Amino acid sequence: MEVRGSLILLAWNRMKEIKGEERLLPIIRAHLAEAFAREGLEGSEIARALNVTQPAVSQYLKGKRGKSSFELNHLNTLVAPLAEKIVKRIRSGQGGLETIELLETARQLMVMNKAGAEVSSVSVQSPELERNLVAMRLLRERLQLELKAAEKYLELSNRTADEHTKLLLRLIASDSIRHADIVSQVISWLEIGGGRENRFESLNQELLEEMLSLEDSASEVNLRKSIKTSHPVATLLLEWIDTDEEKHEKIVKKIARLGSE
């Protein structure tokens, strides 16, 4: 366990050298290029799928570009389902990789590697931290659970043939990763004392009102009740959207109240 902890900490120290998700983009593209090549896509098709040039694809496949100098956990687990989805798109003529998909994958990769290191790290205790030890222990336990859940749901998704079920499992995994990101942020806040940065930056009230109007419009129609489908998981996916809209409206209203206080 000590050796594994040391390796994770080493990986985290190297991860700190990455200033933003954009440093991970070439690594993800390289793994996608390799996955596309294994599926039999030609160089021109891979270039179109990744929105890069053919010479860039050649460098990715030869290992001259997009190689990581440090260990990245969960890379294949995150990239494999994305590659599968893009291959289907390319073969059906629906287009290639979207920038938002690339950035979201990079973000998830950052979160899972950073959070994994935090689970195994040992914080230096101080009088301020002593007051937060119980909370931090609970948060670290929750962080580990969220990471394990995300990994398991992604693995299960990769083994599932049904597209609706696959999407549902990926959504649950994405939520677990986002939960880990939130917990990690709160842990960082507690580690610096949990009060020195107790500030809220008010958002533009006009923009918030516009956001609330959009959420109200979206929540007017209950998709699960309005749209009938014979696929039970498709119904769950529509319910997922309805639930998210309710959550968004509730959170935006709270943000607006914080800004007015």
The number of residues making up the chain comes to 261
Q: Could you please report the per-residue DSSP string of 123-167?
A: PPP-HHHHTTHHHHHHHHHHHHHHHHHHHHHHHHHHT---HHHHH
* CA-closest candidate to residue 50, choices 31, 68, 62, 33: 33
Q: Which pLDDT does position 249 carry in this prediction? A: 85
Q: Are 35 and 81 in contact (CB under 8 A)?
A: no
Q: Which pLDDT does position 193 carry in this prediction? A: 63
Residue 24 exposed, middle or buried by CB count within 10 Å (0-12, 13-18, 19+): buried
Q: Which pLDDT does position 5 carry in this prediction? A: 42
Cβ of 115: how many Cβ atoms within 10 Å? 24
Distance (Å) of CA 202 to CA 160, 206, 247:
44, 12, 20
Phi first, then psi, for residue 226 (nearest 5°) are -85, -30
Q: Which pLDDT does position 3 carry in this prediction? A: 40
Distance (Å) of CA 223 to CA 239, 243, 246:
7, 10, 12
Q: Are 36 and 42 in contact (CB under 8 A)?
A: no
Per-residue pLDDT tens listing for the chain (261 residues): 344 344 444 444 444 444 467 788 999 999 999 999 999 999 999 999 999 999 999 999 998 888 876 677 788 888 888 898 899 888 888 889 988 888 888 888 888 887 666 555 544 455 555 666 777 788 888 888 888 899 899 889 888 999 999 999 999 999 999 998 888 888 877 776 655 555 666 667 777 788 778 877 777 788 888 898 999 999 999 999 999 888 888 888 888 777 666
Q: Which pLDDT does position 37 carry in this prediction? A: 94
